């Protein structure tokens, strides 16, 4: 878990009240962490903001800001960018544990008063506001990964979200945008930005972009390429490409990625991180040397031994995430446990389960858990996947009697499993 470094209340340029706000906020964060209530990054930021509402702007002033947003991959990409920029030898502020709203950003910056750079993941809905508040609109970098349906009971509809991104970026001509050209919604959202580096980062999930976000006509697709049959909207020319397991840089040179992290989605995240690193003058080889060793991100992909079974923990929160996660499951006969909750952070609506195609799990040993295991069980039954319902990971481990097992869970189900398995996860 993260440690709050000693705060420097004399950080130059901060007004007295802002200094007090970061000090009090930091103390509250430490108290919260000691009390075992998470990593303390949110409560500290909330208290700081209450004392000084423009604290984020004050803390961000004078730093080079990278914002990372999108439906999936924010936390991992933030981590990979931080690793790549770390080769410059400077201190970097980052909300590495996914606290991605204003308070989390405040906390990340307050913890690293001397960092000249900040790599911050930002909730999709809050991107326009954070673009303003962090000053990233003027001299910063915004990284747009992908957009797909996610927690529809509390998040904005995604076409609406894309429209808000588009307006915000159109009004930020000095902002550098790194965007995934393969996602039509993202491409459209970045379409009026002045300075865009387009990355062919791929798109596995197409079900939210069958139609042109510009005019609504059916999009024509040919592999990763796409264009609208009715209006001029088309995939922009790209300068970075993810091609299977390799990255092709803007000079046309390709190199194997060789990541420790599994899966296509992480290769996509890595190529985006390389494009960001390039803006800072970090070359591909240098950036890759720092990105390759990353093996788990905030608990994701962690391996834990449990009663002689090597568990690998995978997190996916929405249909596009589950699609990618099902891709990286160890092949049969390694058993799989799926766990789903529907608490506030998960979205209270389990409808999304019906957007995931589970048929590839047919014939495998599957365990079903989490607080909404019945919703998941009914879903698997409709896809003719056989499974056993369990109460805990341990029950699945005992029933499976396998040397290893993959555990795929959504957000709070994942956190519950990590808590059960202890700090090692």
- The contact set with another protein (CB under 8 A) reads 149, 152-154, 157-160, 207, 210-211, 216-218, 348-355, 374-375, 377-379, 381-383
* Pairing verdict, β 303-306 and 309-315: antiparallel
In the complex, the smallest distance separating the C-beta of residue 378 from another protein, rounded to whole angstroms, is 5
Instruction: Decide whether 149 or 418 has the Cβ nearer to another protein.
Output: 149
DSSP state of 179: E
Instruction: Decide whether 159 or 280 has the Cβ nearer to another protein.
Output: 159
CA distance 240 to 242: 7
In the complex, the smallest distance separating the C-beta of residue 28 from another protein, rounded to whole angstroms, is 32
In the complex, the smallest distance separating the C-beta of residue 213 from another protein, rounded to whole angstroms, is 8
Strand boundaries in 244-359, DSSP class E: 246-248, 254-256, 303-306, 309-315, 336-339
In the complex, the smallest distance separating the C-beta of residue 68 from another protein, rounded to whole angstroms, is 25
Instruction: Decide whether 100 or 350 has the Cβ nearer to another protein.
Output: 350
Instruction: Decide whether 147 or 328 has the Cβ nearer to another protein.
Output: 147
Query: Could you give the angle at the alpha carbon of 410 between the alpha carbons of 405 and 411, nearest 5°?
Result: 120
In the complex, the smallest distance separating the C-beta of residue 215 from another protein, rounded to whole angstroms, is 9
In the complex, the smallest distance separating the C-beta of residue 204 from another protein, rounded to whole angstroms, is 17
Sheet holding 366-369, edge to edge: 303-306, 309-315, 404-409, 336-339, 366-369, 388-389
φ/ψ of 316, rounded to 5, equals: -150, 135
Structure tokens at 71: 């439906």
Contacts of 157 (CB under 8 A, 6+ apart): none
Instruction: Decide whether 216 or 333 has the Cβ nearer to another protein.
Output: 216
Ramachandran class of 258: left when φ > 0, alpha when ψ lies in -120 to 50, beta otherwise: left
In the complex, the smallest distance separating the C-beta of residue 321 from another protein, rounded to whole angstroms, is 15
Instruction: Decide whether 43 or 376 has the Cβ nearer to another protein.
Output: 376
Contacts of 20 (CB under 8 A, 6+ apart): 9, 51, 52
Instruction: Decide whether 139 or 218 has the Cβ nearer to another protein.
Output: 218
CA distance 420 to 308: 16
In the complex, the smallest distance separating the C-beta of residue 202 from another protein, rounded to whole angstroms, is 20
In the complex, the smallest distance separating the C-beta of residue 184 from another protein, rounded to whole angstroms, is 12
φ/ψ of 300, rounded to 5, equals: -70, 140
CB of 102 closer than 8 Å to CB of 133: yes
Structure tokens at 334: 């390694």
Instruction: Decide whether 302 or 350 has the Cβ nearer to another protein.
Output: 350
In the complex, the smallest distance separating the C-beta of residue 102 from another protein, rounded to whole angstroms, is 23
Instruction: Decide whether 116 or 391 has the Cβ nearer to another protein.
Output: 391
Sign for the pseudo-dihedral over CA of 408, 409, 410, 412: negative
Query: Exposed, middle or buried by CB within 10 Å (0-12, 13-18, 19+), for 392?
Result: middle
CA distance 218 to 304: 46
Largest CA distance in the chain: 64
Contacts of 72 (CB under 8 A, 6+ apart): 145, 146, 148, 150, 265, 316, 317, 318, 320, 321, 324
Instruction: Decide whether 349 or 398 has the Cβ nearer to another protein.
Output: 349
């Amino acid at each position: 878990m993260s440690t709050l470094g000693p705060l420097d209340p004399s950080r130059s340029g901060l007004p007295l009240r802002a200094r007090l706000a970061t000090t009090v906020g930091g103390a509250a964060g430490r108290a919260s962490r000691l009390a075992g209530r998470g990593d303390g990054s949110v409560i500290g930021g909330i208290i700081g903001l209450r004392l000084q509402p423009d604290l984020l702007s004050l803390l961000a002033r004078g730093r080079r800001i990278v914002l990372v947003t999108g439906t999936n991959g924010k936390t991992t990409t933030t981590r990979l960018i931080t690793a790549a920029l770390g080769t410059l030898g400077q201190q970097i502020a980052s909300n590495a544990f996914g606290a991605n709203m204003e308070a989390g950003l405040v906390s990340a910056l307050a913890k690293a008063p001397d960092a000249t750079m900040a790599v911050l993941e930002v909730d999709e809905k809050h991107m326009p506001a954070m673009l303003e508040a962090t000053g990233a609109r003027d001299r910063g970098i915004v990284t747009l990964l992908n957009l797909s349906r996610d927690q529809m009971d509390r998040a904005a509809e995604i076409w609406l979200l894309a429209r808000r991104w588009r307006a915000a970026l159109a009004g930020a001509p000095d902002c550098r945008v790194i965007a995934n050209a393969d996602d039509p919604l993202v491409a459209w959202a970045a379409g009026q930005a002045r300075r865009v580096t387009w990355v062919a980062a791929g798109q596995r999930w197409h079900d939210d972009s069958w139609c042109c976000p510009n005019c609504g006509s059916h999009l024509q697709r040919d592999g990763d390429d796409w264009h609208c049959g009715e209006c001029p909207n088309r995939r922009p020319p790209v300068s970075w490409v993810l091609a299977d397991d390799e990255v092709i840089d803007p000079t046309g040179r390709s190199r194997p990625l060789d990541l420790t992290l599994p899966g296509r989605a992480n290769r996509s995240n890595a190529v985006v991180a390389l494009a960001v690193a390039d803006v800072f003058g970090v070359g591909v080889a240098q950036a890759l040397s720092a990105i390759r060793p990353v093996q788990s991100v905030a608990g994701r992909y962690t391996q834990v031994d449990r009663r002689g079974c090597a568990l690998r923990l995978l997190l996916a929160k929405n249909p596009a995430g589950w699609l990618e996660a099902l891709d990286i499951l160890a092949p049969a006969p390694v058993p799989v446990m799926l766990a789903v909750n529907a608490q506030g952070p998960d979205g209270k609506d389990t409808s999304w389960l019906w957007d995931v195609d589970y048929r590839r799990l047919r014939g495998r040993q599957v365990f079903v858990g989490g607080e909404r295991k019945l919703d998941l069980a009914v879903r698997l039954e409709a896809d003719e996947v056989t499974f056993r319902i369990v109460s805990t990971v341990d029950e699945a481990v005992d029933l499976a009697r396998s040397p290893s097992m993959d555990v795929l869970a959504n957000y709070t189900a994942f956190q519950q499993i990590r808590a059960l398995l202890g700090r090692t996860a």
